[in-house]
Amino acid sequence: MRTSNGDLRVFSGRSTAKLTGEVCRILDSDMGAARITTFPDGEIIVKIDEDVRGRDVYLICSTCEPVNDNLAELLIYLDCLRRASAGRITVVIPYFGYARQDRKDEGRVPITAKLVANLIATAGAERVLALDLHAAQIQGFFDIPVDHLSATPVFVDYFRELQAKGDLPDLCLVSPDVGNVKVAEGLAKRLNGSLAIIYKRRISGSTVETGQLIGSVEGKTVLMFDDMISTAGTICEAAKVVMERGAREVIAAATHPVLVGPAVERLQASPISRVVVCNTIPLPPRVDPLRPKLVELSIGPLLGQAIHRIHHNESVSALFKNTAGPKR
């Protein structure tokens, strides 16, 4: 995909170097030259090693673990690009940390997702390109334009290939919680599967209580999709429920492989046969024991197409077609 405007430059944070390399190959462009170093006391410094004055700049950075370090790096990077007189700065956030703190669900708590959105705009971002935000309303937290992409076309292509091989007989999409029903329904339509729903109640940040199953999964290949797998409590408990109700096989899919705490051990011990994720977050060595079950899909082509369209002032809406919609 050759870009006709030579002013395009794509830079990477340390959390997304490999993914940014894929995006640059799609765009047939070299990665922007920059150095990110850390002082002995932990302070981060960013140095841009090329002229960006007047250029259309894209910074790809996931605010994943370690969340605070990556967030500080993103903000400092944006300030550096702004002070270097970049013409337009678009921040591309494959994974948006703090997204689960998007409302006041009890007294005397912050809405940190809004705070982070304010910080990103203040630091110098003029546009945001995000992927599968934990809640669609986070788009409204930004006072700058936001393009909210969905990774579901990447998953649909993968699972359709499996269906063509006969590997997904009697497919049933199961939503592991009520908030994800819309996405599960959209995937069920695109993959010609049935739909079931599991009711859950969150007890704490790492504990969930899984309840009733609405729908039938007996003899079916169950596919459970969510925006992220964090501690894997929800997905593993849901997998036990559907297997107890007679499911033939359980496959878990999620855009963001957060995989913290006991996630790897839980997934290993669960009846889930396959865990399909995207490369929005680099997988650390601690997930190596899960590799036999793990499938990693690339969102590089999707982000490359979006950047190409934004750079040429073309509609990004075409990339929203054939998606299952955002999580509510």
Single-letter residue type at 89: I
Strand partners, 222: 172, 250
Q: Cα dihedral angle (85, 112, 205, 202), rounded to 10 degrees?
A: -120
200 is catalytic: yes
Calpha distance 96→92 (Å, rounded)? 10
Amino acid at 108: R
Cα(33)–Cα(50) distance, rounded to whole angstroms?
6
Alpha helix segments (H runs only) across the chain? 17-27, 67-83, 112-123, 152-164, 181-190, 233-244, 263-269, 300-311
Residue 81 CA to residue 72 CA, distance in Å, equals 14
Distance CA 268, CA 286 (A): 12
Q: What SS3 state is found at 176? A: coil
Length in residues, the chain: 328
Options 104, 165, 189, 200, the catalytic residue = 200
Q: DSSP secondary structure string, 34-53?
A: EEEEE-TTS-EEEEE-S--B
User: Distance (Å, rounded) from C-alpha 243 to C-alpha 272?
Assistant: 9
Half-sphere exposure of residue 18, counting CA atoms within 13 Å on the CB side? 9
The identity of residue 80, as a single letter, is: C
Partners of 149 in the β-ladder: 131
Q: Which residues are catalytic?
A: 200
